[in-house]
Chains A and B, each alone.
Chain A
Amino acid sequence: MWTRAVWLGLRASAGGRRGFPSKADPQGSRRVTAELIEHLERLALVDFGSQEAVARLEKAIAFADRLRAVDTDGVEPMESVLEDRCLYLRSDNVVEGNCAEELLQNSHRVVEEYFVAPPGMCCPKMA
């Protein structure tokens, strides 16, 4: 279960229940610090959940590092293969809609025409 204790375990990052690596590791995981883990979990709103997941990230980073070998001087980044074309924009007229009821049906918690979220945006640990 996602409890405050887990967060504390992460912050302490020393022999916590999950044992996330904080010591340097031959594969250059110096980069994947406990701080980074926390930061990523916060941004992604997805937790690592295990040692394996952290190891997987390290491998993914090492894999991505291979890109450094490519000479990209003077090369523009490519965002879309259709960059030479104009993006289609339709005229700004209302052609459909009025389906609030249908859309609200898919939500677990609804009050009148509102989607209901739990209060506040802060994590317990921030308090």
Chain B
Amino acid sequence: VSAALKQGRVTPTELCQRCLSLIKKTKFLNAYITVSEEVALKQAEESEKRYKKGHSLGDLDGIPVAVKDNFSTAGIETTCASNMLKGYVPPYNATVVQKLLDQGALLMGKTNLDEFAMGSGSTDGIFGPVKNPWSYSKQYKEKRKQKSHGENEDSHWLITGGSSGGSAAAVSAFTCFAALGSDTGGSTRNPAAHCGVVGLKPSYGLVSRHGLIPLVNSMDVPGILTRCVDDAAIVLGILAGHDPKDSTTIQDPVKPFTLPNLTDMSKLCIGIPKEYLTPELSSEVQSLWSKAANLFESEGAKVIEVSLPHTSYSIVCYHVLCTSEVASNMARFDGLEYGHRCDIDVSTEAMYAATRREGFNDVVRGRILSGNFFLLKENYENYFVKAQKVRRLIARDFVNVFNSGVDVLLTPTTLSEAVPHTEFIREDNRTRSAQDDLFTQAVNMAGLPAVSVPMALSSQGLPIGLQFIGRAFCDQQLLTVAKWFEKQVQFPVIQLQELMDDCSSVFENEKLASVSLK
């Protein structure tokens, strides 16, 4: 579509209007918390002027994007789906947001998430849960018709996964071409897999976290959600690089890149971690995982089984480190400088406590309390420091595997396809997160890049994605492999018939089934 903009076949304003109209039509998905219509239209206008003069800023100029609502956006409400920040309007843009805007991208709005990005379903925010667009797809509906009749159509809608569910749904439903998510334990990759889109978690240190409201400083990474791997590479190329405002970004120079088409697979070594074959893994995902491994092998790549021995402890380790860092990070919300403030005026402590009780939901409060427990003097060594030691063991596991000649690891992203909301809420947030983050969170602990690529539809007509994990700072290589895989599997386009009919005129012209940036 970027080419189309450059050639004048479509204007930024038209594109913007189409996406805004789609956003309105898909409002029931609850993917957006704030739709910045005026801002987007104004940006579109400016982009149009640039195109007319032949001075486009690049591939992203005039392209609608969405941003998860835990990234600060100047002048636009940023809530983290929490009462604590409801009504909060940041005075600055997160670095990654600024970079997108500097490239001329159109900001369509802020997307929904689990409160403070804590959760794996995008169901626990104050604005309500996000619905998976695939719940309304032709592919899913057809499979359901065969099973049940005369049921309330909407009661069995599926979750998007989380916590960047809003961003994933926004991209999946064609309301934007790329969206920012955040990834601390899998929060970008999980919903990407459930919504049939590409979810990239870059290497820790590659992309600036300045302006991303922090959860776990040592693991948080801005995530990128797009409809194809090439688009993710384009966005990464723009976002990556040192930021003086985030001292955890590496100083190595970074340049935008295009992904080559892999032809010689013989030099590639794919690792399959045997500990990831757990009993909880659904048979469908397992068989797709096998199929993928066979695919690589049949094309000449070396596919070997590897071991990440500390895998079974990674969830526990993550649980301790995450809650501990959360306890610290959430301390800034005291009602004084920004955010919600209660009415109690008796004393500062009473005010803090009541503000925080009113501002945070149970999940957030639970994690803060757990974190404080692990950080108590008497527990510090046995829990927090212990977890840090286990973290090193986990990170070492990956280093050992990559040192033995493996280029990329291939694993499932999720245990199964997206489940209905009614089923998801039967277990509490912590339990669900522990289950759903299984394949994704060890990557955050080691700081490695990983990407979820949609592979195929399940027998229910729902997307299943697989995860590729790369070496630290070898994001380009990782995406190259992912791109090859994507081309091989030809994941089907979601059929949201009623919505697409009106917009088909724009998209058809491009003959891009996945309606990508390029």
Contact = CB atoms under 8 A, between A and B. Distances in A.
Listed residue (B310, B345, B446) with the most chain A CB atoms within 10 angstroms of its CB = B345
A77 B336 contact: no
B385 interface: yes
A87 B218 contact: no
B368 A47 contact: no
A27 interface: no
A82 B447 contact: yes
Given A67-B387, A123-B347, A107 B336 contact: yes
Contacts of A46: 353, 356-357, 360, 365, 368-369
Interface string B306-321: 0000100100110110
A59 B347 contact: no
A60 B434 CA distance: 11
Nearest to B356: A46
Nearest to A71: B393
A82 B248 CA distance: 8
Q: How large is the interface on B (under 10, 10 to 19, 20 to 34, 35 or more residues)?
A: 35 or more
Nearest to A43: B372
B386 A72 contact: yes
A107 B349 CA distance: 17
B389 A64 contact: no
Contacts of B250: 82, 85
A120 to B, nearest CB: 5
Listed residue (B242, B323, B362, B446) with the most chain A CB atoms within 10 angstroms of its CB = B362
Contact of B248 (A40, A78, A80, A118): A80
Nearest to B219: A81
B347 A63 contact: no
Nearest to A78: B392
Interface residues of A, number: 57
B292 interface: no
A44 interface: yes
Contact of B349 (A45, A66, A102, A103): A45
Interface string B324-338: 000100010011111
A66 B320 CA distance: 11
B13 to A, nearest CB: 31
Contacts of B353: 2, 41, 45-47
A60 B346 contact: no
A98 interface: no
A88 B205 CA distance: 11
Contacts of B4: none
B390 interface: yes
Nearest to B367: A60
Nearest to B365: A46
Contacts, number: 184
A124 B344 contact: no
A70 interface: yes
B369 A108 contact: no
Contact of A53 (B310, B320, B362, B445): B362
Interface string A2-22: 100000000000000000000
Given A45-B353, A63-B316, A90-B244, A82 B370 contact: no
Contacts of B276: none
Contacts of A97: none
Contacts of A2: 344, 350, 353-354, 357
B91 A60 contact: no
A122 interface: yes
Contacts of B327: 44
A60 B393 contact: no
B350 A72 contact: no
Nearest to A77: B388
Interface string A85-127: 1011110000000010011011111000001011111111000
B369 A122 contact: no
A76 B395 CA distance: 12
Contacts of B205: 81-82, 85
Contacts of B242: 88
Contact of A81 (B337, B362, B447): B447
A122 B319 contact: no
Contacts of A61: 370, 373
Contacts of A80: 218, 248
A106 B91 contact: yes
Contacts of B389: 70, 72, 75-78
A26 to B, nearest CB: 20
7 contacts: A57-B369, A63-B316, A77-B392, A78-B388, A78-B389, A81-B446, A118-B344
Interface of A: 2, 36, 39-41, 43-49, 52-53, 56-57, 59-61, 63-64, 66-70, 72, 75-82, 85, 87-90, 99, 102-103, 105-109, 115, 117-124
